[in-house]
Structure 1
């Protein structure tokens, strides 16, 4: 036996400090070893209850495990580090679980069914929100009797303050699932409902947001709620009439609004909540006085809000996700009874659909900053913070790149200085997609959606030797050509800190997220 080694008693294997064991000095002084011991001590010292005053649910739309890995490397390399050793803010949370994302009728899910599961506690079909699996998508008369209650609704009934934030249209599937009941996620405004009879029987999603208070009180007789307190996102077009006179200052289209019923829902909201604050640009956002505001409603774009990298190009200016989160938390925590806040980063998903890793990763980094803002502005002893995704994407990290190789770059193997060549003699990138629009070289273009104006690449591999793949406008190669890259079906992660976080363990159904929120806030009491 090598004299350098001794047997470590089994009793010491689980000790908080293994430094007392007789181990090689170089092993105990190794940074990886010491970091492992520090993490163990932290976990052994965790003491959390089950009841929370506040809950914040963060949803990174499309933020699968490969996105997390690539984003943490991307973030590290933005700060001149190799990247692999880092953690996104929420990856430091003490509890993590894997989440199964399938819909009742779909192996690979969509955001409507997945968010309904997280916010209502049961799985449902793809494409429908706030209803169970007994509906028929697109058939308006199947809504009645199949509506389900959401955590946001129950929090309102319990007397908590509530908020919903998204960088997507606020009527898009994920945020809409917190407040609406619809047999089609695409019925964002009345013009989207093609069946004239259905327009009278089924209320569009934007209208349901403005009428949230009235609808909830009608559904549960005898209750008195005051409506969602803080709402921010994109999607103004679904709230405005199809009339140029109703255009906002930064309208992109000649006629910004889509509504064909002549209703101006922004005006209707202001009439319902005359003491509330409506904002539509950075200046308005910056002027919000969280101490005095009674309700806040922000619509910052005609459609989705900008990608984080493209925000500086917004005509009227719009806040970042981290800015919206910080303001929402500081606004909602005025309520001594507590609050429930739902925050979605919708554009991670859109970057992936466009086949543009740069924007997907950059928005994931901003999402992590938003989570950190929530951590910094809440009491960890009374606030449960949950961070998850709704589904993943067919996004891969492949090849054998060396440590610290640019995550957006071409694969350079360990010990090499030049890009590795594939069997066809061409270099290839670490990141890629199993399907999608495929290769595009749009240079410094920061809007991933600009790729939809280009042809789908169908001609096989490209010689990337003289192409800078690290620019914002580079779109990775895809194996199967499609008009848009698709979701994937593998499990995603759930991270938790605060009271009730210890319930986040193992492999769970997506609908369990609701039950963890319910347990922490006692919503069904």
Structure 2
């Protein structure tokens, strides 16, 4: 038996040597030559260990590996291809890691805890902002003792300019974690503060940070949290504040430029004068519905041009907040369109900066309960029905796969949400709604889901981190999410 094994091993080694010396039979295969070219590109990558003048963190809220995959296919299919061969802007970055996203008290995280991890370097509880895990959510009396330094404070202390961008409200969890300290993410204005709370609300903290030079440009939604209840904004919508403070007017009186729509945004001076952009009463519009307000890429470009006026460099945090909201709604058509808008913002940030002096990190705070259902042939519309594999060709057949109930199903679904197929007092089998391709690809279609929920939930799996620039090579393997901050600070303070 031993001699047989030895003979087999010798034959294998001989064959390997022969293949190493002679051409492999697959050497002219397109997949083989493409992989060889990619190998050469990767072999040429060298770490950049110079000090980072600028640091840009781009976070697509809820854009885990699965959501990113759906966006990749949608973008590629919109360009007339199968979709899976497509490469999004951040997917070209040379360095990659996986982040563990849990909060200290939550296996499946929330964005306040994950945002705080990335903007302070400390993991904390779900629902709290800019504080450590010793604070009990909602207890204002514990904020002072639990406060930790955030990105706006750290990078402005280095002499850098700071920018905060979000398509959500600027007072929402992820952007707020860059500059605020709060016992609860819901303390966006004073009306939600508990009686006797001595800690200012999140909107008030943002304006204070702008006045103190800790934020130089802030662009996003959330106008209502800066205005009193008896004041209406430019769109006729009322404020939320009950303390009578008009924070927008306070900012303007301090010399901050205020912009609220496309026209005023384009007229803003990008010369280092602080800019406050509030484009909606609540969240900005989904990309699919956007009118009268700038895109995420346009806000990114404006912010970089404004922040580049500082010789000491800048820190810029950018959130595509509405990827998350569309996932919560189970509305994949809007998820992927906001996902593409995020990729456009990544491309714009990369275009306007230099790899030698700018660290760019692209990631997500968490994933959603999104599910990819087999067995879809290549080219099946990522928004549509799962089509059968063609055994004789490449492109999917024009014939849907059928579930055990005899009905077609979409390529993508959710494990829970408002699109549930389970209803009260109903046996699901055989009663699942029939579905056509036309229905499935409609902009407003809500994907079918399993568990009934009023809003689809986050999920707990790892998310990807894509990076390039100074010290980006330190992001590799599987890491705790709070390492992101430490890499950013290390790169910015390196000698």
Taking the aligned partners of 2:213 and 2:86, their CA distance within structure 1 comes to 43
Residue deviations 1:26-83 (CA, integer Å, cap 9, x gap): x222222122122221222112323211110000100011111111000001111110
CA contact (8 A) 1:437 1:457 kept: no
Match of 1:282 in 2: 262
Following superposition, the deviation at residue 417 of structure 1 comes to 2.6
**Unaligned stretches of 5+ residues in structure 1:** 13-20, 215-224, 441-455
- 2:188 equivalent to 1:188: yes
Match of 2:22 in 1: 22
Following superposition, the deviation at residue 387 of structure 1 comes to 0.3
Following superposition, the deviation at residue 397 of structure 1 comes to 1.1
Taking the aligned partners of 2:119 and 2:462, their CA distance within structure 1 comes to 18
Match of 1:211 in 2: 208
CA contact (8 A) 1:170 1:235 kept: yes
Taking the aligned partners of 1:63 and 1:518, their CA distance within structure 2 comes to 24
Taking the aligned partners of 1:321 and 1:213, their CA distance within structure 2 comes to 21
Match of 2:286 in 1: 307
Secondary structure of the equivalent of 1:196? coil
Taking the aligned partners of 1:190 and 1:150, their CA distance within structure 2 comes to 21
CA contact (8 A) 2:109 2:458 kept: yes
**Unaligned stretches of 5+ residues in structure 2:** 1-7, 9-13, 391-396
Taking the aligned partners of 1:378 and 1:325, their CA distance within structure 2 comes to 12
Alignment of 1:428-507 (within 5 A): 428-438=409-419, 460=428, 461-465=432-436, 467-507=438-478
1:338 to 304, 310, 313: 313
Number of equivalenced pairs: 472
Secondary structure of the equivalent of 2:162? strand
If the length of structure 1 is used for normalisation, what is the TM-score? 0.87
Match of 1:159 in 2: 159
Match of 2:379 in 1: 404
2:322 to 347, 358, 365: 347
- 2:297 equivalent to 1:325: no
Match of 1:218 in 2: none
Following superposition, the deviation at residue 462 of structure 1 comes to 1.1
Match of 2:3 in 1: none
Residue deviations 1:417-471 (CA, integer Å, cap 9, x gap): 311111011110110000010069xxxxxxxxxxxxxxx9666421114752011
Match of 1:449 in 2: none
CA contact (8 A) 1:118 1:510 kept: yes
2:399 to 418, 423, 438: 418
CA contact (8 A) 1:151 1:517 kept: no
Taking the aligned partners of 1:322 and 1:473, their CA distance within structure 2 comes to 24
CA contact (8 A) 2:384 2:440 kept: yes
- 2:331 equivalent to 1:356: yes
1:271 to 234, 253, 257: 253
Taking the aligned partners of 2:168 and 2:31, their CA distance within structure 1 comes to 40
* Bigger shift: residues 41-50 or 507-516: 41-50
Following superposition, the deviation at residue 212 of structure 1 comes to 1.7
Match of 2:274 in 1: 295
Alignment of 1:35-74 (within 5 A): 35-50=34-49, 51-74=51-74
Following superposition, the deviation at residue 8 of structure 1 comes to 4.8
Following superposition, the deviation at residue 109 of structure 1 comes to 0.3
Match of 1:139 in 2: 139
Following superposition, the deviation at residue 318 of structure 1 comes to 0.5
Taking the aligned partners of 1:331 and 1:11, their CA distance within structure 2 comes to 57
Match of 1:390 in 2: 365
Q: CA RMSD in A?
A: 2.0
Match of 2:196 in 1: 197
Following superposition, the deviation at residue 11 of structure 1 comes to 12
Taking the aligned partners of 1:399 and 1:422, their CA distance within structure 2 comes to 10
Following superposition, the deviation at residue 289 of structure 1 comes to 3.0
